[in-house]
Chains A and B, each alone.
Chain A
């Protein structure tokens, strides 16, 4: 695209945003900054869940549409463990492990035999998502399950300048999201396994040719990706509560995050999650009936100009 057009489009994007920024702060600064915080913390949750999705997709070209069900599964398991033991950390761990285990099972028992058949794998995940969601509904029922925040994080943070009070738990989501992002990055870029995964994303055949047990790498990746969904589920169980239907919502969010941010890129997931979280929250705050239109417009714009996502790699 020529430089003039590029400049035009960037201006067309930045100008209305800046106008909105100035107007928002002038109109109701408290609302504006609370919304910003809300958006960033929601983005944290979306990032945690979507990073697992993009990891699986990036390495194994498997669009795991059962990702939402894994979120739900992790959330429920975390809820019951948390309710029984009273320890939030245990709940987090339980949610992660349960989802990772089911993910591992799915990879080893089913997807391993369908290597290369992307479409078929995706359809299997669709079937699995329906089955898992209904099994959970059967076992646990349709009632609302709300996990309580750990005692240290319950209730509001008071005496913050301008916005007065903010939920402690939500505020904690920001550093947690960043921490998980950093950990993931370190894992992918500073460990041997991470190096294998990145190599596999670039060229699966070569990875196998160097003698590495590709199946093991795949299984590990799927387990981690699923575990991240489960972890997100436990976190969401506190903030958004667990109810059948959450799986579809979080799956959708993951899809949009990955499409916008770039398929197969963890940094892209962070970028996409931020954009989606902030856009959704501002839309809800300032124009509730059209918030989905904003999301959709963003999606269309990204697909129109960068079909692979903002940070997506051309495969």
Chain B
């Protein structure tokens, strides 16, 4: 591609948008021979988010909307709503890990911070520790505080290479767990907070299965669309560039650290919403909600579905919740951990892109015509 063409491409569409938004960059006059990240940006800006909608998306959406009407309240609540809330948290991990190259085990921690802050600022069973503010004050405060927490975690982890992120975020997550466990003046220690319930709005009690399911569905859909939009916007594209080659992006003038921290902040927002849904679902929050097993469960959910696809988070969540709920009918519930760990191990060993990756590879084998590259240009090694 010649320098003129590249310059025009950068000036048009996303390039202009990037400059207009004030993203750090030295503009198109950097180097006439500069290839790499620039080309991919140009090629990928063409399909907009809505152009990528296919029939299967519409069918799945219709199914989700109709689900409460043919499923029992139990399935709607315990399977449907729980999967959506967990999926949202896992989505934040998928976004950070699959598209940002930073696998953060502290996403459940951020969700837990939101849950705890909601319990502390809002109403709960602990009258002495909760402030009892109305939900429409408590919820934004909880989200804001957990976004701060998530950004802080990001700031701690981004100055080192990607592989350290797991270690550092795990350590931070467990430190928060012990803090919640041992502190009684703020976090109420081992008991945690009980009776943290969803509010009643306009006569609809969101504690009931069907309204709560639709609330969770709305949030999950919003999160999913947000991620799809961001991934195609300059920020998301730059993030993927940083995932692939931070040095090059730095040389191009992108502030790598700032991008990464911003990604953490966005992921924290998703995790916070998921955390609030989860605490309303459970009606309580305890230190165990942010313990090591849940930190790792969120990773398992994300990997199970496939970390290269945003929908993978929700697929993984559904499978995980189904296993958790019905394992006792099929195998010994006592060996649940073995089954989940084994499945996770199998997926990482044989299909690192999760179940969706497995399915895509099968589809490729079956269908001989459609080239997959155009739809998924980055489906490469993990």
Q: Do chains A and B touch in the complex (CB under 8 A)?
A: yes
Q: A residues engaging B (CB < 8 A)? A: 61, 63, 65, 110, 117-120, 122-124, 126-131, 133-135, 138, 248, 252, 255-256, 258-259, 263, 288-293, 295-296, 299-300, 303-304, 307-308, 315
Enumerate B330-362 residues with CB–CB distance to A below 8 Å.
334-335, 337-338, 340-342, 344-345, 348-349, 352
- Tell me the complex Cα distance, A133–B340, Å: 12
Inter-subunit contact B344/A130 (CB<8 Å): yes
Asked whether B367 is an interface residue with its Cβ less than 8 Å from the other chain, the reply is no
Contacts of B156 in A (CB 8 A): 300, 303-304
- Tell me the complex Cα distance, A207–B299, Å: 34
Inter-subunit contact B167/A63 (CB<8 Å): yes
Inter-subunit contact A252/B166 (CB<8 Å): no
The 4 A-B residue pairs with the shortest CB-CB distance, nearest first, are A130-B341, A127-B345, A292-B178, A296-B175
Inter-subunit contact A303/B168 (CB<8 Å): yes
Inter-subunit contact B160/A134 (CB<8 Å): no
- Tell me the complex Cα distance, A126–B293, Å: 11
Inter-subunit contact B337/A133 (CB<8 Å): yes
- Interface stretch, picked from B65-73, B179-187, B230-238, is B179-187
Asked whether B110 is an interface residue with its Cβ less than 8 Å from the other chain, the reply is no
21 A-B residue pairs with Cβ-Cβ distance under 8 Å, sorted by A, are: A63-B164, A63-B166, A63-B167, A110-B349, A120-B348, A123-B344, A126-B299, A127-B348, A128-B341, A252-B171, A252-B174, A255-B170, A255-B171, A258-B167, A259-B167, A289-B183, A290-B183, A292-B175, A292-B179, A296-B179, A299-B171
Inter-subunit contact B344/A134 (CB<8 Å): no
Asked whether B141 is an interface residue with its Cβ less than 8 Å from the other chain, the reply is no
Contacts of A130 in B (CB 8 A): 296, 337-338, 340-341, 344-345
- Tell me the complex Cα distance, A118–B299, Å: 16
- Tell me the complex Cα distance, A35–B312, Å: 50
- Tell me the complex Cα distance, A289–B156, Å: 24
Inter-subunit contact B338/A124 (CB<8 Å): no
Enumerate B131-174 residues with CB–CB distance to A below 8 Å.
156-157, 159-164, 166-168, 170-172, 174
With A259-B167, A315-B161 given, is the CB distance from A119 to B349 under 8 Å? no
Contacts of B163 in A (CB 8 A): 61, 63, 118-119, 122
Enumerate B46-75 residues with CB–CB distance to A below 8 Å.
none
Interface size of B in residues (CB-CB distance below 8 Å): 40
User: How far, in Å, is B65 (CB) from chain A's closest CB?
Assistant: 34
- Tell me the complex Cα distance, A61–B166, Å: 13
Inter-subunit contact A127/B344 (CB<8 Å): yes
Contacts of A128 in B (CB 8 A): 341, 345
Contacts of A123 in B (CB 8 A): 103, 299, 303, 344, 348
Contacts of A300 in B (CB 8 A): 156
Contacts of B166 in A (CB 8 A): 63, 65, 119, 122
- Tell me the complex Cα distance, A314–B381, Å: 26
- Tell me the complex Cα distance, A300–B169, Å: 11
Asked whether B188 is an interface residue with its Cβ less than 8 Å from the other chain, the reply is no
Contacts of A119 in B (CB 8 A): 103, 162-163, 166, 382
User: How far, in Å, is A277 (CB) from chain B's closest CB?
Assistant: 16
- Tell me the complex Cα distance, A296–B106, Å: 14
Inter-subunit contact B171/A259 (CB<8 Å): yes
B352: which of A120, A129, A263, A292 is its contact (CB, 8 Å)?
A120
Contacts of A255 in B (CB 8 A): 167, 170-171
Contacts of B349 in A (CB 8 A): 110, 124
With A258-B167, A259-B168, A303-B168 given, is the CB distance from A124 to B345 under 8 Å? yes
Question: Quick one: closest B residue to A133, CB to CB?
Answer: B337
Contacts of B341 in A (CB 8 A): 127-131, 134
Asked whether B11 is an interface residue with its Cβ less than 8 Å from the other chain, the reply is no
Inter-subunit contact A138/B174 (CB<8 Å): no
Asked whether B292 is an interface residue with its Cβ less than 8 Å from the other chain, the reply is yes
Contacts of A63 in B (CB 8 A): 163-164, 166-167
User: How far, in Å, is A135 (CB) from chain B's closest CB?
Assistant: 7
User: How far, in Å, is A258 (CB) from chain B's closest CB?
Assistant: 7
User: How far, in Å, is A141 (CB) from chain B's closest CB?
Assistant: 11
Other 7 A-B pairs with CB < 8 A, given A63-B164, A110-B349, A129-B341:
A119-B163, A123-B348, A130-B344, A259-B164, A259-B167, A303-B156, A307-B159
Question: Quick one: closest A residue to B170, CB to CB?
Answer: A255
- Tell me the complex Cα distance, A308–B168, Å: 11
User: How far, in Å, is B107 (CB) from chain A's closest CB?
Assistant: 15
Inter-subunit contact B182/A292 (CB<8 Å): yes
User: How far, in Å, is B219 (CB) from chain A's closest CB?
Assistant: 28
Question: Quick one: closest A residue to B382, CB to CB?
Answer: A120
Contacts of B175 in A (CB 8 A): 292, 295-296, 299
With A119-B103, A127-B344 given, is the CB distance from A256 to B171 under 8 Å? yes
Contacts of A315 in B (CB 8 A): 161
A124: which of B292, B342, B348 is its contact (CB, 8 Å)?
B348
Contacts of B164 in A (CB 8 A): 63, 259, 263, 307
- Tell me the complex Cα distance, A41–B382, Å: 42
Question: Quick one: closest B residue to A126, CB to CB?
Answer: B296
Contacts of B178 in A (CB 8 A): 292
User: How far, in Å, is A211 (CB) from chain B's closest CB?
Assistant: 28
- Tell me the complex Cα distance, A299–B334, Å: 36
Contacts of A256 in B (CB 8 A): 171
Interface centre among A119, A248, A308 (most CB of B within 10 A): A119
- Tell me the complex Cα distance, A65–B349, Å: 16
Contacts of A304 in B (CB 8 A): 156
Inter-subunit contact B337/A288 (CB<8 Å): no
- Tell me the complex Cα distance, A289–B189, Å: 10
Question: Quick one: closest B residue to A131, CB to CB?
Answer: B341
Inter-subunit contact A138/B335 (CB<8 Å): yes
- Tell me the complex Cα distance, A63–B103, Å: 13
Inter-subunit contact A117/B171 (CB<8 Å): no
- Tell me the complex Cα distance, A138–B174, Å: 25
Contacts of B184 in A (CB 8 A): 289
